[in-house]
C-alpha cells in the first residue's frame, strides 16, 4: 500500500465511494473567506466557528508533522419516502448516525496505512475538530463548492458525508478538478429562507437546517416551511443530484422505526422509548421534546393528505 491508488482502493473496499489526497498546507485563501463570513455574522448560532480559526486553516496545528490530508466520501442519496411526513426530515438523518459509521471505516483505513508505513502517525476526523472538511475535499479533487455552499462531486452530487485522515506520511496529492455550476441557480431560487448567497456562503442565521438542529427558538416555526429536522431543499433541486446514484450502503439505510412511526405515534413517545430506539440516530442530537415541538408545528401548518408527492415537487422545480 505504498501508492495513492492502493490507499484509495482500500478506502473503496471499506465502503467509501471516493477517496482523494491533498498535500497538507496552510489554506491561506480560505482565511479571508472565513474571516468575512464570521465578521458578517452569518455564522448565526454556530459560535464554535469563532474559535480555533488558525487550526481550521492549518491542519499542522491539529497534528504536528502532518504531511498529507486524506479525504473520504460516502454518498447517501435516497429515493423520496412514500409518506410526506418523513420527507420533512433531512434524508441524512433517516439512518444511523454517520459519524459512527464513517469513524469506524476511517480508523480501519488509518490502521492499514500505518501498517504499510510503520512509525507514521495519524488522526481521524468526522466533524469532530476545527477542520474545514469541504475546503480540503476541494483541495484533494473530490469536487467544488456549489451555489448551495455544499461540496458537489461530479458523479455523487452533494448528498455526501465526509471523513478526513491527517497523516505524517508524504503521499502524492491528487489534483483539484475544474467543476462548475455554470449558470444554474436553482438552489438559490428554491431556498425557502433565502439563506444562500451569491458568494456561495451560507447565512446560518436564516438556514432552516441550523434552526431545526442546532437550537430551538420559539417563534421561528412559521419560517421553517414545514421542516422538522434539517432541510434538503437546495439538494433536491440540484441537477447533479438528479443524476447521482442512490446510496449503496446498508449501514446508512433508514431505521425501521423511522419508516413506520406516524406523526401521532411520535407525539406519544416517551423519553425512555425514544432513547432506546434512536440513541444512535442523528435525531438523538435534537432530543425528543424539540422533535415533538417541530412535529406539532408541522401538523399545524401542513395537511399531509394534501401534499404533492415529493417526486412531483422535485420534477417541477427542475423544469
Interacting residues of 304 by C-beta distance below 8 A, sequence separation 6+: 83, 84, 85, 263
What is the domain extent for residue 31? Answer: 4-76+95-167
pLDDT at 216 over 80: no
Beta pairing partners, 152: 144
Q: How far is residue 215's CA from residue 212's CA, in Å, rounded to a whole number?
A: 6
Q: Is residue 249 part of a domain?
A: yes
Interacting residues of 33 by C-beta distance below 8 A, sequence separation 6+: 201
Q: Is residue 115 part of a domain?
A: yes
Q: Is residue 60 part of a domain?
A: yes
Q: Is residue 179 part of a domain?
A: no
What is the model's pLDDT at position 215? 63
What is the model's pLDDT at position 302? 67
Span 183-195, average pLDDT: 95
Are 60 and 203 in the same domain?
A: no
Question: Is residue 152 helix, strand or coil?
Answer: strand
pLDDT at 222 over 70: no
Instruction: Note whether 26 and 58 are within 8 A (CB).
Output: yes
Please give the grid coordinates belonging to residue 313. Answer: 415537487
Question: Is residue 151 helix, strand or coil?
Answer: strand
Q: Is residue 99 part of a domain?
A: yes
Are 140 and 57 in the same domain?
A: yes
What is the model's pLDDT at position 1? 45
Return phi, psi of residue 59, to 5°.
-65, -20
Are 135 and 277 in the same domain?
A: no
What is the model's pLDDT at position 5? 47
Q: How far is residue 82's CA from residue 254's CA, in Å, rounded to a whole number?
A: 13
Structure-model confidence comparison of residues 251 and 221, the more confident one = 251
Q: Is residue 177 part of a domain?
A: no
What is the model's pLDDT at position 217? 54
Are 230 and 284 in the same domain?
A: yes
Q: How far is residue 288's CA from residue 275's CA, in Å, rounded to a whole number?
A: 9
Q: How far is residue 162's CA from residue 32's CA, in Å, rounded to a whole number?
A: 23
Interacting residues of 55 by C-beta distance below 8 A, sequence separation 6+: 61, 62, 129, 130, 131
Positions marked catalytic = 127
Last residue of a domain, one of 167, 197, 217: 167
Are 156 and 17 in the same domain?
A: yes
Are 212 and 308 in the same domain?
A: yes
> Into how many domains does the chain fold?
2
Indicate the pLDDT class of residue 189, thresholds 50, 70 and 90: very high
Instruction: Note whether 123 and 62 are within 8 A (CB).
Output: yes
Indicate the pLDDT class of residue 133, thresholds 50, 70 and 90: very high
- Extended strands (E) in 61-153: 68-75, 122-125, 144-145, 151-152
Are 48 and 8 in the same domain?
A: yes
Are 149 and 278 in the same domain?
A: no
Burial class (CB in 10 A: 0-12, 13-18, 19+), 315: exposed
The pLDDT mean for the chain works out to 89
Amino acid at each position: 500500500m505504498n501508492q495513492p491508488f492502493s490507499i484509495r482502493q482500500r478506502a473503496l473496499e471499506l465502503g467509501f465511494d471516493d477517496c482523494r489526497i491533498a498535500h497538507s498546507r496552510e489554506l491561506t485563501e480560505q482565511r479571508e473567506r472565513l474571516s468575512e463570513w464570521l465578521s458578517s455574522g452569518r455564522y448565526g448560532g454556530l459560535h464554535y466557528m469563532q474559535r480555533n480559526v488558525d487550526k481550521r486553516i492549518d491542519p499542522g496545528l491539529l497534528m504536528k508533522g502532518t504531511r498529507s490530508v486524506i479525504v473520504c466520501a460516502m454518498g447517501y442519496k435516497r429515493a423520496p419516502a412514500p409518506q410526506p411526513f418523513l420527507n420533512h426530515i433531512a434524508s441524512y438523518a433517516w439512518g444511523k448516525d454517520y459519524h459512527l459509521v464513517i469513524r469506524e471505516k476511517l480508523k480501519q483505513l488509518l490502521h492499514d496505512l500505518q501498517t504499510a508505513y510503520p512509525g507514521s502517525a495519524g488522526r481521524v476526523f468526522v466533524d469532530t475538530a476545527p477542520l474545514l472538511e469541504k475546503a480540503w475535499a476541494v483541495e484533494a479533487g473530490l469536487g467544488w463548492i456549489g451555489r448551495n455552499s455544499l461540496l458537489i462531486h461530479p458523479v455523487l452530487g452533494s448528498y455526501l458525508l465526509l471523513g478526513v485522515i491527517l497523516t505524517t506520511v508524504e503521499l502524492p496529492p491528487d489534483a483539484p478538478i475544474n467543476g462548475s455550476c455554470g449558470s444554474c441557480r436553482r438552489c438559490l431560487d428554491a431556498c425557502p429562507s433565502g439563506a444562500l448567497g451569491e458568494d456561495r456562503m451560507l447565512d446560518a442565521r436564516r438556514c432552516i437546517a441550523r434552526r431545526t438542529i442546532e437550537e430551538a427558538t420559539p417563534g421561528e416555526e412559521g419560517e421553517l416551511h414545514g421542516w422538522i429536522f434539517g432541510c434538503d431543499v437546495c439538494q433536491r433541486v440540484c441537477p447533479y443530484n438528479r443524476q447521482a446514484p442512490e446510496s449503496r450502503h446498508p449501514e446508512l439505510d433508514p431505521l425501521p422505526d423511522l419508516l413506520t412511526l406516524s406523526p401521532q405515534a411520535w407525539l406519544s413517545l416517551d423519553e425512555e422509548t425514544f432513547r432506546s430506539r434512536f440513541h444512535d440516530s442523528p435525531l438523538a442530537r435534537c432530543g425528543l421534546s424539540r422533535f415533538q415541538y417541530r412535529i406539532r408545528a408541522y401538523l399545524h401548518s401542513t395537511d399531509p393528505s394534501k401534499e404533492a408527492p415529493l417526486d412531483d415537487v422535485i420534477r417541477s422545480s427542475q423544469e
